Chain A
Amino acid sequence: MDRLAAFGRLGMSVIASLGRSGRFLVGALAGVPRPSVGFPLLLKQLYSVGVLSLAIIVVSGLFIGMVLGLQGYTILSDYGSEAAIGQMIALTLVRELGPVVTALLFAGRAGSALTAEIGLMKATEQLSSMEMMGVDPLRRVIAPRLWAGFISVPVLAAVFSVVGIWGGMLVGVEWLGVFEGSFWGNMQSSVSFTADVLNGVVKSLVFGFVCTWIAVYQGYDCVPTSAGISAATTKTVVYSSLAVLGLDFVLTAVMFGDF
Chain B
Amino acid sequence: MDTSPYIELRDVVFNRGNRRIFDGVSLDIPRGRITAIMGPSGTGKTTLLRLIGGQLKPDSGSVVVAGENVPQLKRKALYRLREKMGMLFQSGALFTDLSVFENVAFPLRVHTTLPEDMIRDIVLMKLEAVGLRGARDLMPAELSGGMTRRVALARSIALDPELIMYDEPFTGQDPIAMGVLVKLIRDLNSTMGLTSVLVSHDVPESLSICHYACIVADGRIIGDGTPEELRAHPSEQVQQFLRGHPDGPVPFHYPAADAAQDWSVAGRGD
Contacts and interface: CB of A to CB of B under 8 A. Distances in A.
Interface in B75-97: 75, 79-80, 82-83, 85-87, 89-91, 93-96
B82 A126 contact: no
B79 A129 contact: no
Contact of B83 (A125, A134, A140): A134
A133 B87 CA distance: 8
Contact of A133 (B55, B75, B107): B107
B87 A132 contact: yes
Nearest to B85: A132
Contacts of A131: 53, 55, 82
A148 B258 CA distance: 58
Q: Which of B83, B93, B94, B111 has the largest count of A CB atoms less than 10 A from its CB?
A: B93
Given A124-B96, A125-B89, A125-B90, A134 B79 contact: yes
Contacts of A132: 53, 55, 82, 85-87
Given A124-B96, A126-B95, A134 B111 contact: yes
A135 B152 CA distance: 16
Contacts of B107: 133-135
A71 interface: no
B80 A128 contact: no
A221 interface: no
Interface string B22-55: 0000000000000000000000000000000101
Nearest to B158: A133
B110 interface: yes
Nearest to A123: B91
A210 B159 CA distance: 39
Interface in A125-174: 125-126, 128-129, 131-136, 140
Given A126-B95, A126-B96, A128-B55, A133 B90 contact: no
A128 to B, nearest CB: 7
A71 B53 CA distance: 63
Interface in B60-119: 75, 79-80, 82-83, 85-87, 89-91, 93-96, 106-107, 110-111
Chain B interface helix/strand/loop/mixed: mixed
Contacts of A126: 93-96
A136 B91 CA distance: 20
A140 B110 CA distance: 10
B89 A134 contact: no
Contacts of B159: 133
Given A133-B107, A135-B110, A128 B89 contact: yes
A131 B55 CA distance: 8
A133 B110 contact: yes
Nearest to B107: A133
Contacts of A124: 91, 93, 96
A134 B90 CA distance: 19
B51 to A, nearest CB: 13
B170 to A, nearest CB: 17
Interface in A193-222: none
A128 B93 CA distance: 8
A121 to B, nearest CB: 8
B106 A133 contact: yes
A20 B159 CA distance: 33
A220 to B, nearest CB: 15
B89 A133 contact: no
Interface in B220-235: none
A133 B96 CA distance: 16
A216 B55 CA distance: 21
Contacts of B83: 133-134
A234 B95 CA distance: 25
A126 B90 CA distance: 11
Interchain residue pairs A-B with the least CB separation, the first 10: A129-B93, A125-B93, A134-B82, A132-B87, A134-B83, A134-B79, A125-B89, A133-B107, A126-B93, A135-B110
25 contacts: A124-B93, A125-B90, A125-B91, A125-B93, A126-B94, A126-B95, A126-B96, A128-B89, A129-B87, A129-B93, A129-B152, A131-B82, A132-B55, A132-B85, A132-B87, A133-B83, A133-B106, A133-B107, A133-B111, A133-B156, A134-B79, A134-B80, A134-B107, A134-B110, A135-B110
Given A131-B55, A131-B82, A134-B111, 7 more contacts: A37-B110, A126-B95, A128-B93, A129-B93, A133-B107, A135-B107, A136-B75
Interface of A: 37, 124-126, 128-129, 131-136, 140
